[in-house]
Amino acid sequence: MRVIAIDDHPLILAGIEQIVNDQPDTRLVGRASTIAELRDLLATTACDVLIADYSLPREDSADGLSLLRQLQRQYPDLKIIVLTMLDNAALIRVIMNSGVAALVSKRDPLNHISIALQSLRGGLTYQSPTMQSLLGESRHAVAGGTLSGREIEVLRLFAAGMSMTEVANKVNRTVKTASAHKVSAMRKLGVKNDSELHAALRDLRLL
């Protein structure tokens, strides 16, 4: 398997490189520390798996979820392993439901990347122990689900300080419909008020 890794911490990138290259028939073919570098790499370097830190500094208005979806549309055969420090069960489920192949918590030993790669080789998905625990909690705590593009757009505009009337005008929907998108997104994120919503959006890198 050919692997590209992106993380803005050089020590973590070095650890990923060692783990990947220790795998049989697997090699790291590129490493990036910014989204721009990643885009250039993917455009010029064939790869099967991307190992990506979720909480990268934002560039060109690409938040974590939007970036994952863009990459999946542009490279439908690319398997993505997400590394994250997030510990909110509902947020983790939103990321998992976005279609990534594996989720590895940075709270778990990095050797779980090795297990994730082995799982992907066998056509399976993988969640490290911390992720399994959080996803289990999420199944009981909230309905979960994937945020739609419209829900993300409504949340971004609301978080930017717009009233729901202004948001509705911006997305060319009625206030009732825009509010329904907001309520649906809050349910999926497992938050109950605007303060919790803003915290969740920060965690998801939507702010």
Q: What does pTM read for this prediction?
A: 0.71
Write out pLDDT tens, residues 38-92: 999 999 999 999 999 988 876 655 667 788 888 999 999 999 999 999 887 877 8
Token pair for 134: 């959080």
Question: What integer pLDDT is reported at residue 6 of this predicted model?
Answer: 95
Write out pLDDT tens, residues 6-50: 999 999 999 999 999 998 899 999 999 999 999 999 999 999 999
Write out pLDDT tens, residues 155-206: 888 888 899 999 999 989 999 999 999 998 888 888 888 888 888 877 766 6
Element (H, E) at 73: helix 64-74
Element (H, E) at 10: helix 10-21
pLDDT band at 143 (very low <50, low <70, confident <90, very high): very low
* CATH 3.50.30.30 given to domain 2-140: no
Rounded distance between C-alpha atoms, residue 16 and residue 110, angstroms: 7
Task: Tell me the pLDDT of the chain averaged across its residues.
Answer: 86
Fold observed for domain 149-204: Arc Repressor Mutant, subunit A (1.10.10)
* Single-letter residue type at 146: T
- Give CATH 3.40.50.2300 domain extents, the chain: 2-140
Sheet holding 126-127, edge to edge: 27-32, 2-6, 49-53, 79-84, 102-105, 126-127
